[in-house]
A and B are shown apart, each in its own frame.
Chain A
Amino acid sequence: MIASAYASAGASVEHAAASSGLPQFESSVFGSQIFWTVVSFALLMMLLNKYVLPTIGNILDSRSNRIAEDLQKAEHARKEGERLLTNYQGQMVAARQVAAQTLEEARQDSLRMRDQALVELNQEMAKKKNAALVEIEQAKNRAMEEVRTVAVELSMQVAEKLIAKSLTAEDANLMVQEALSQINENQTRLH
């Protein structure tokens, strides 16, 4: 009875529903809303599924395809670059080997040449030494010959003088001395 008094007060403010709870709980409008919710949802789903989602999906797919393609291309280019690099590196190694080989050869050559020069030099030296030795020998022989000749001459002169006059011991001594000094003189001249 009291509630109805309140209700009548509420009703006078034109919205009876407001005084009896939320308008959402009013079941008289449920039927149409259920129906139209289902219909609207189905319609929207159909429209989106038919006209919108394939477009977006396609564009996204084509973009990801494009990106994948580009990536593949980049990968390809990278591989090509790597191949070229390996190639180049191989060439570098080969060139370096050739250079090292040439250098080694040159070194060997120079070594050989040096050795050869050394050997030749030694040979020359030996030859020259031999020649010098021979010459010395010859000179010595000649000197000996000369000494002999001188000695013979001297002895002949001594004999001549002995024969020519009788000699005193002092004279003989003097003469020997003289002869010896002559020999010495000859010898010094020889050397």
Chain B
Amino acid sequence: MESLPASFIGMGLAATGLGGAGIGLGYMFGKAIEAFARQPSAEGQLSKYVWIGAAFVEAIALYGLVLAFIIMGKG
């Protein structure tokens, strides 16, 4: 297989990792909102962890992005 088109395919595949992060973020904020609805007084404490968690999940997606860039460099 020629390397350039293959690298484009690879980059696209690497970007699919974003889907997982999207699912994760959705779960997390959904659960967080559920928790806040049940226990509004805990919002202050919990939202801190929500944002930290969001940053972690987002970083997972960005690993895919970095992979895509690496493939781009090799192409």
Chain A residues within an 8 Å CB radius of B42 = none
* A25 at interface by CB-CB < 8 Å: yes
Main secondary structure of the interface of B (DSSP, over half): helix
Number of A interface residues, CB 8 Å? 7
Contact pattern, A 1-40, Cβ under 8 Å of B = 1, otherwise 0: 0110010000000000000111001000000000000000
- B73 with A22: CB separation less than 8 A: yes
Chain B residues within an 8 Å CB radius of A22 = 66, 69-70, 72-73
Main secondary structure of the interface of A (DSSP, over half): helix
Quick one: which of A63-95 are within 8 Å of B by CB? none
- A6 with B73: CB separation less than 8 A: no
Contact pattern, B 38-71, Cβ under 8 Å of A = 1, otherwise 0: 0000000000000000000000000000100110
Nearest-neighbour CB distance to chain B for A185, whole angstroms, equals 120
Listed in ascending order, the chain B residues whose CB lies under 8 Å from chain A are: 2-4, 66, 69-70, 72-75
